[in-house]
Amino acid sequence: MAGTPRKDEISGVDTTGHKWDDIEELNNPLPRWWLWVFYASVLWSVVYWIAMPAWPGISDYTKGMLGYSQRSIVQNELAAVKASRAEWDQQILNSSLEEIVKDDTLNQYALAAGKAAFGDNCSGCHGSGAQGGKGYPNLNDDHWLWGGSLEDIHTTIAYGIRSTHEDTRVNDMSAFLRDEILEKSEISDVAEYVMSLSGTATDAQAARRGEELFVDNCVACHSEGGLGNRDLGAPNLADSLWLYGGDKATIVQSISYGRKGVMPTWEARLDPVTVKALSIYVHALGGGE
Amino acid sequence: MSTKLEDIVRDATIEVDAVNKKENRTLYKKREPIFPKRAVGQFRRLKWLIMIITLSIYYLVPFLRWDRGPGAPDQAVLIDFPGNRFYFFFIELWPQEVYYITGILIVAALLLFFFTSLFGRVWCGYSCPQTVWTDLFIAVERWVEGDRNARIKLHRAPWSLEKIGKYCLKHTIWLLIGIATGGAWVFYFADAPTLFVELFTLQADIMAYSFVALLTFTTYTLGGLAREQVCIYMCPWPRIQGAMMDEDSLQVTYKLDRGEPRGRAKKAHDDESFGDCIDCKQCVVVCPMGIDIRDGSQLECINCALCIDACDAIMDKMGTPRGLIAYDTDANLARRIAGKAEQFTLLRMRTVVYAFAILFVCAVMSYVLVTRSSLDLNVLRDRNPIFVKLSDGSIRNGYTVKILNKERSVRQFAVSVDGLPVETLKINDIEDNGAAPIVEVKPDSLRSVHLFISVNEADLASASEPVTITVTDTENGNSVTYDSVFIGPEK
């Protein structure tokens, strides 16, 4: 509460008149140097206005004489980082994939670069954790259509699948129903057989019927026992992983109308260093061979 | 005409001064210069000794060497920012062990509380850097300009060549002390002998010169120019310490029961109606804070005890016992006035509590330091994807395993997993030796590897199983464990 200033008897100092809970505030003067420091700060602020960016305008601001700009500092720092990367990029470019993986430092660099590039370019289809989805392979597991070695992965990324690249990987799963190669009932039997390979068939008789049809129509690509053929990009049908789904309806769908997955060629879009880094990153996800 | 006007004037006039009369109003207090006289006595000697010890520690410690083996700095005390290490003799701290510094700060604060509750402001009076450097700067001033009277005379004298010369010499020495102070500071952050040469050959980093300049400025300003203003206006400690002290805390005290009534009459007439204080004001002129200790306990008093020396010297001459100004307690003053015997109570609730708090923190810190492992393990479970199903139907989880080798030698660690019927254990690019994968970690560094654990889905009892990852030094068997979980599909 504001009151009337009075002289405090004990200290002999005037009070400010402010009183809270019977505690009064003494009006001790500040030291004069404090006032000088205050004036110096005011002067300093003027210097600062002149030297540094300070006043906003309508479309611009006062730039200051020192030319300080946080934006240009960041740009310089980014340029410096980029320049420091050049040396590493050159080493990645000149080394084989195996050599990079064996060099711990280069490997760490490639993994970091690959992770960033994966987020920018691959996660749209393969997911941010490379976990994939229906029609988009999970890159963490050990099931590979075209092989899981460093070289295989590098080729797939560089050339793509069914892409515009002349060396693109292409596989050809026929549409057995649409092209009238098999009847609906026959396709159902083949599906039962395919499911029996991974122990999920429900109709043993139909599976036996399907086996003959499988030998006639499918073994050429999917190999005997449905173990697949990586040279042709034909998936292993005997394991427990499915790109499109392992239930009967989906398998029937795949046989009836075929599958034509697409992956773009990245050779034209990304520089060779990034493609190498991506290969190493994907290889290290856990399924690499 | 004048008679009438004079009457009006006389009738209207009241003999009174305005409460806020302009010349009585001071918003800002002019600083009165203080010219402390040289004191001689036991406390002055103690202060010189403490000054020599503390300044020697500050200036010389960076040059102490401590052999840590090849590849490690041999500076006993070093704060290595680029290398992310703090070295203190046999202790070597990593950034994640910064809590040791917190512990040291807690002990330092508790020690301060402890000594304040026992002996009052001994920190302020003897070992505060502000006190030590101000003492040094005043000693320089006295050496250049003479003792109190000579300095006052010089201060009041008009400007002359002699005055300018003495002032220049004084400020030059002050600045040199400032440079030495700032210079010693930067030695704690880099190899001192190397930096010493670099500083003089203009080869050092701009940051080093900036910090030397900054500390030169603060030392010169605070120790030379601001002096007592720092204690009175800037330092929070004089305001806080009231909470640590009680009526049994020692303080530099003028024993008014013995001294009063003060007066020169005693000296002149040996008048027994006067107290022992002859009002010679020697205690006032030696005071670096510019106060009169006889006014009682004050915020400005740093308890440097120089007034005790000054008073004792006079008491000796007078043939009266020493200790008219002495370390005393409020309780003893009351006891003497009441005619009782003096009694110093060191064992009090607050001193006991502070002492136990110090012992407790020191014990905890020592225990943690002694049992500190030279090996540390951190495990981060992959969250995206949460788990991976493999072609043979088994479930795989990924873990980023970070192994910290704090020793100065290459170490091999075996990584093993407990709590799961593990089918395969794999670390990228590390050969599987049939048992636990071996990870080699370079000296004094951290290695991060990716560990894959696969388990047959049928062997998983639930969707989330506890798992313990153990890292064991293959040579000495030292190991650390980390508890994590293994996640599979919902059952």
Interval B237-264: pLDDT, tens:
988 888 888 889 999 999 988 888 887 7
Q: Are residues A248 and A194 part of one domain?
A: yes
- Can you give the pLDDT at residue B352? 94
Single out the residue of B190, B186, B187, B146 nearest to residue B169, CA to CA.
B146
Q: From the CA of B171, how many Å to the nearest CA of chain A?
A: 19
Token pair for B54: 């503390």
Q: Is the pLDDT score of B22 beyond 70?
A: no
CATH number at residue A154: 1.10.760.10
Token pair for A59: 């479309």
For residue A21, what are the CA distances in angstroms to A6, A12, A13, A26? 17, 21, 20, 15
| Cα three-residue angle A209-A214-A217, rounded to 5 degrees | 130
Q: Is the pLDDT score of B491 beyond 80?
A: no
* CB-based contact B451:B385 (threshold 8 Å): no
Nearest neighbour of B398 by CB, restricted to A5, A101, A286: A286
DSSP H or E stretch at residue B91? strand B91-93
Q: Do A240 and B389 touch (CB under 8 A)?
A: yes
Is ipTM over 0.90? no
Angstrom distance (rounded) from CA B25 to CA B44: 40
Q: From the CA of B451, how many Å to the nearest CA of chain A?
A: 9
- Can you give the pLDDT at residue B393? 86
Confidence of residue A140 (pLDDT cuts 50, 70, 90): very high
- Can you give the pLDDT at residue A17? 83
Confidence of residue B268 (pLDDT cuts 50, 70, 90): low
Q: Are residues A271 and A250 part of one domain?
A: no
Query: In this complex, is the C-beta atom of B95 within 8 Å of any C-beta atom belonging to chain A?
Result: no
- Closest-CA residue of chain A to B29: A31
Confidence of residue B17 (pLDDT cuts 50, 70, 90): low
- Set of chain B residues whose Cβ sits within 8 Å of the Cβ of A103: none
* CB-based contact A37:B30 (threshold 8 Å): no
Nearest neighbour of B28 by CB, restricted to A32, A127, A241: A32
Residue A246 lies in a domain: yes
Query: In this complex, is the C-beta atom of A106 within 8 Å of any C-beta atom belonging to chain B?
Result: no
Percentage of chain B surpassing pLDDT 70?
A: 93
| Structural domain of A222 | 184-257
Average pLDDT of chain A to the nearest whole number: 91
* CB-based contact B277:B260 (threshold 8 Å): yes
- Set of chain A residues whose Cβ sits within 8 Å of the Cβ of B389: 141, 240-241
State mean pLDDT over A13-28: 84
Range from A56-70, B180-194, B424-438 carrying the lowest mean pLDDT: B424-438
pLDDT (tens digit per residue) in A122-139: 999 999 999 999 999 999
Query: In this complex, is the C-beta atom of B233 within 8 Å of any C-beta atom belonging to chain A?
Result: yes
What CATH number does domain B375-487 carry, 3.30.43.10, 3.40.47.10, 3.20.20.80, 2.60.40.10?
A: 2.60.40.10
Confidence of residue B16 (pLDDT cuts 50, 70, 90): low
* CB-based contact B231:B302 (threshold 8 Å): yes
Higher pLDDT, A187 or A28: A187
First to last CA, chain B: 119
Which of B459-482 are b and which e, b meaning 16 or more Cβ less than 10 Å from the residue's Cβ? ebeeeebebebbbbbeeeeeebeb
How is B232-281 classified by DSSP, letter by letter? III-SHHHHGGGT--TTS-EEEE-HHHHPSP-THHHHH--TTS-S-----
Q: From the CA of A29, how many Å to the nearest CA of chain B?
A: 5
Nearest neighbour of A29 by CB, restricted to B28, B388, B393: B28
State mean pLDDT over A20-41: 88
| Cα three-residue angle B1-B6-B11, rounded to 5 degrees | 135
Query: In this complex, is the C-beta atom of A149 within 8 Å of any C-beta atom belonging to chain B?
Result: no
- Can you give the pLDDT at residue A26? 86
Q: Are residues A221 and A137 part of one domain?
A: no
Single out the residue of A141, A249, A133, A232 nearest to residue A195, CA to CA.
A249
Largest interatomic CA distance in chain A: 115
Q: Do A102 and B429 touch (CB under 8 A)?
A: yes
Q: Do A101 and B396 touch (CB under 8 A)?
A: no
Q: Do A142 and B391 touch (CB under 8 A)?
A: yes
Query: In this complex, is the C-beta atom of B229 within 8 Å of any C-beta atom belonging to chain A?
Result: yes
Strands (E) located in B356-421: 375-381, 388-389, 395-405, 411-418
**In chain B, where the domains are located:** 33-372, 375-487
DSSP A30: E
Q: Do B388 and A286 touch (CB under 8 A)?
A: yes
- Set of chain A residues whose Cβ sits within 8 Å of the Cβ of B452: 286
Q: Are residues A215 and A105 part of one domain?
A: no
Q: Do B233 and A34 touch (CB under 8 A)?
A: yes
pLDDT (tens digit per residue) in B274-322: 788 888 888 899 999 988 898 888 888 999 999 999 999 988 888 888 9
Single out the residue of A162, A140, A184 nearest to residue A233, CA to CA.
A162
pLDDT (tens digit per residue) in B103-121: 999 999 999 999 999 999 9
Nearest neighbour of B428 by CB, restricted to A35, A131, A284: A284
Q: From the CA of A182, how many Å to the nearest CA of chain B?
A: 29
Query: In this complex, is the C-beta atom of A103 within 8 Å of any C-beta atom belonging to chain B?
Result: no
The region that residue A265 occupies, defined by phi over 0 for left and psi between -120 and 50 for alpha, beta otherwise, is beta
Return the residue matching tokens 């773009």: A264
Query: In this complex, is the C-beta atom of B442 within 8 Å of any C-beta atom belonging to chain A?
Result: no
Token pair for B59: 């200036």
- Set of chain A residues whose Cβ sits within 8 Å of the Cβ of B232: 31
Is the torsion defined by CA of A234, A237, A238, A241 positive or negative?
Answer: positive
Q: Are residues A98 and A209 part of one domain?
A: no
For residue B292, what are the CA distances in angstroms to A27, A249, B138, B276, B287? 22, 101, 19, 16, 8
Q: From the CA of A202, how many Å to the nearest CA of chain B?
A: 19
State mean pLDDT over A267-281: 94
Which of B28, B32, B395, B456 to mutate to test binding with chain A, by most A CBs within 10 Å of its CB? B28
For residue B436, what are the CA distances in angstroms to A134, B424, B426, B477, B487? 36, 10, 9, 14, 21
Q: From the CA of A60, how many Å to the nearest CA of chain B?
A: 33
Q: Are residues A112 and A83 part of one domain?
A: yes
Confidence of residue B432 (pLDDT cuts 50, 70, 90): low
Nearest neighbour of B388 by CB, restricted to A5, A101, A138: A138
Q: From the CA of A104, how many Å to the nearest CA of chain B?
A: 10
Query: In this complex, is the C-beta atom of A172 within 8 Å of any C-beta atom belonging to chain B?
Result: no
Residue A160 lies in a domain: yes
Residue A106 lies in a domain: yes
Angstrom distance (rounded) from CA A78 to CA B83: 23
Q: Are residues A268 and A150 part of one domain?
A: yes
Q: From the CA of A30, how many Å to the nearest CA of chain B?
A: 5
Q: Are residues A278 and A197 part of one domain?
A: no
Q: Which of residues 64-93 of B touch A (CB under 8 A)?
A: none
Nearest neighbour of B392 by CB, restricted to A34, A128, A239: A239
Q: From the CA of B390, how many Å to the nearest CA of chain A?
A: 5
Q: Are residues A153 and A274 part of one domain?
A: yes
Is the torsion defined by CA of A139, A143, A147, A148 positive or negative?
Answer: positive
- Closest-CA residue of chain B to A141: B390
Question: Which of helix, strand or coil describes residue A263?
Answer: strand
pLDDT (tens digit per residue) in B352-373: 999 999 999 999 999 988 888 8
Q: What is the CA radius of gyration of chain A?
A: 36
- How many other β-carbons are positioned within 10 Å of the β-carbon of residue A136? 17
* CB-based contact B127:B54 (threshold 8 Å): yes
Query: In this complex, is the C-beta atom of B154 within 8 Å of any C-beta atom belonging to chain A?
Result: no
Q: Which of residues 351-390 of B touch A (CB under 8 A)?
A: 382-385, 388-390
For residue A255, what are the CA distances in angstroms to A175, A230, B414, B431? 6, 19, 49, 41
Angstrom distance (rounded) from CA B285 to CA B292: 9
- Can you give the pLDDT at residue A5? 81
Residue B91: φ, ψ to 5°: -95, 140
Q: Are residues A97 and A232 part of one domain?
A: no
Q: From the CA of B299, how many Å to the nearest CA of chain A?
A: 13
Q: Do A107 and B429 touch (CB under 8 A)?
A: yes
- Can you give the pLDDT at residue B79? 92
Token pair for A76: 């310089």
- Set of chain B residues whose Cβ sits within 8 Å of the Cβ of A128: 384
Q: Which amino acid is at B413?
A: F
Residue A1 lies in a domain: no
Q: Are residues A84 and A162 part of one domain?
A: yes
Angstrom distance (rounded) from CA B235 to CA B220: 17
Confidence of residue B92 (pLDDT cuts 50, 70, 90): confident
Q: Are residues A197 and A154 part of one domain?
A: no
- Can you give the pLDDT at residue A44? 95
Q: Do B389 and A241 touch (CB under 8 A)?
A: yes
Q: Is the pLDDT score of B405 beyond 60?
A: yes
Largest interatomic CA distance in chain B: 128
pLDDT (tens digit per residue) in B220-233: 999 999 999 999 88
- Closest-CA residue of chain B to A236: B391
Residue A92 lies in a domain: yes
Query: In this complex, is the C-beta atom of A31 within 8 Å of any C-beta atom belonging to chain B?
Result: yes
Nearest neighbour of A129 by CB, restricted to B385, B391, B392: B385
Compute the count of residue pairs across chains A and B with CB atoms less than 8 Å apart.
Answer: 73
Number of domains in chain A: 2
Nearest neighbour of B29 by CB, restricted to A31, A127, A143: A31
Angstrom distance (rounded) from CA A114 to CA A282: 8
State mean pLDDT over A262-287: 93
Q: Is the pLDDT score of A12 beyond 80?
A: no
Query: In this complex, is the C-beta atom of A34 within 8 Å of any C-beta atom belonging to chain B?
Result: yes
Q: How many helices (H) and strands (E) does chain A have?
A: 11, 3
Angstrom distance (rounded) from CA B355 to CA B110: 8
